[in-house]
């Protein structure tokens, strides 16, 4: 689990983004069932799995960084902001500049938004929920909650870092759930409290990985993830259903051996690598291929969709996302080095002030 390229997590992330894409794709074509399984919650399922995955991966990241430096919060936020904002801002500005309808998806068509300056700023800074603004790009609604989660995750990591007792962790989890429930009940603004069960499930997975246990065969992992998804879709999609699905996933993640099937691991790693770009651009791919080119033959539209769905994430990843991630890491490292340098200078000043300098005139050694 401490391998940053864990194959099971790659599969989980790729499954999540494919749920979102296919959920929106079938909604466009007004397909609401696959046999006896309702598909209306497929996109929401993908987002919730994203939240579980993200919380776990970032707890692992905080663990690695804490081994190198005690300075956590600012470098963590710097890295995450450089990871999230540049690509999101780019896509939102393109949509706004060309007036592309990407705010909401209905069966057969997309809807735009007559936004003002406040809407644009709220979308660029991904605070649509806190400012009661409508997303210019529909899928970015979830990024607001993810950014809010970043503010709390380093503190949760510090609280749990030395907690070995499962009972203490269970008590902490129950307290966090109770607090989130109270916030949701009395809050007038949509906020991260609504998704605490999803994020907490990732923290559960992180905490349980510390304990050695029997590992289930890796071949069952894809079946288990798909089964959890199918069970969630067949449920009533209430908060309790979400809590159960997310916690089952969080409990299961550390219990499986790592996938070794090359066909699965290579494909999952590739999709996971470009998943953020896929998430931000698939609305455009659906809109352009199936609404804008509605008069074209179906096969042509499918080929256009696949081309856009593949090439746009790759293009944005190599031109914006990956370079800005590198910049974020460098900025974070510079901040840590600067803080450590200032700390060393203060310690040196204190040392020189506490040690008296011999007077050369009175020094008996001369």
Query: In this predicted model, what pLDDT tens digit does every residue of 79-133 receive, in sequence order?
Result: 999 999 999 999 999 999 999 999 999 999 999 988 889 999 999 999 998 888 9
* Residue 103 belongs to a domain: no
Arithmetic mean of pLDDT, 195-212: 91
Closest CA to 23 of 38, 47, 40: 40
Give residue 158's domain range. 7-82+149-337
* Residue 170 belongs to a domain: yes
Domain count, the chain: 1
Whether residue 49 is predicted with pLDDT greater than 80 in this model: the reply is: yes
| Alpha-carbon torsion (30, 35, 37, 43), positive or negative | negative
* Residue 1 belongs to a domain: no
* Residue 301 belongs to a domain: yes
Mean pLDDT over each residue of the chain, to the nearest integer: 90
Q: What angle do CA 167, 49, 16 make, to 5 degrees?
A: 155
pTM above 0.85, yes or no: yes
Lowest pLDDT segment from 32-36, 71-75, 310-314, 328-332 = 32-36
* Residue 348 belongs to a domain: no
* Residue 33 belongs to a domain: yes
* Residue 138 belongs to a domain: no
* Residue 108 belongs to a domain: no
Distances in Å between the Cα of 21 and the Cα atoms of 120, 234, 305 are 25, 19, 11
pLDDT in tens, 278-322: 999 999 999 999 999 999 999 999 999 999 999 999 999 999 999
Whether residue 42 is predicted with pLDDT greater than 60 in this model: the reply is: yes
pLDDT at 362: 47
3-state secondary structure at position 31: coil
pLDDT in tens, 165-190: 888 898 989 999 898 888 888 777 77
């Amino acid at each position: 689990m401490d391998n940053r390229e864990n194959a099971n997590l790659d599969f989980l992330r790729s499954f999540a983004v494919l749920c979102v894409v296919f959920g929106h794709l079938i909604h466009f074509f007004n397909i609401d069932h696959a046999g006896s399984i309702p598909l209306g919650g497929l996109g929401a399922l993908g987002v919730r799995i994203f939240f579980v995955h993200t919380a776990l991966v970032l707890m692992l990241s905080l663990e690695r960084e804490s081994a190198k430096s005690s300075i956590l919060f600012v470098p963590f936020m710097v890295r995450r902001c450089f990871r999230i904002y540049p690509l999101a801002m780019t896509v939102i500005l393109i949509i706004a500049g060309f007036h592309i309808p990407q705010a909401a998806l209905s069966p057969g068509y997309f809807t735009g938004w007559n936004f003002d300056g406040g809407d644009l700023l709220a979308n660029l800074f991904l605070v649509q929920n806190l400012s009661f603004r409508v997303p210019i790009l529909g899928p970015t609604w979830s990024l607001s909650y993810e950014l809010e989660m970043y503010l709390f995750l380093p503190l949760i990591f510090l609280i749990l870092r030395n907690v070995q007792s499962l009972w203490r962790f269970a008590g902490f989890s129950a307290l966090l759930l109770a607090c989130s429930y109270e916030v949701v009940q009395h809050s007038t603004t949509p906020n991260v409290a609504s998704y605490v069960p999803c994020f907490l499930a990732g923290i559960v997975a992180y905490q349980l990985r510390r304990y050695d246990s029997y590992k289930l065969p890796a071949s069952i992992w894809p079946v288990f993830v798909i089964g959890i998804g199918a069970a969630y879709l067949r449920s009533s999609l209430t908060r309790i259903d979400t809590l159960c699905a997310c916690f089952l996933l969080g409990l299961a993640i550390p219990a499986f051996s790592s996938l070794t099937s090359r066909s699965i691991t290579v494909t999952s790693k590739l999709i996971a690598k470009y998943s953020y770009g896929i998430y931000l651009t698939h609305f455009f791919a659906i809109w352009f291929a199936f609404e804008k080119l509605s008069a074209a033959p179906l096969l042509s539209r499918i080929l256009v969709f696949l081309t856009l769905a593949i090439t746009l994430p790759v293009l944005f990843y190599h031109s914006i996302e990956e370079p800005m991630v590198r910049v974020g890491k460098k900025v974070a490292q510079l901040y840590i080095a600067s803080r450590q340098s200032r700390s060393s200078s203060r310690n040196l000043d204190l040392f020189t002030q506490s040690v008296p300098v011999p007077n050369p005139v009175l020094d008996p050694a001369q």
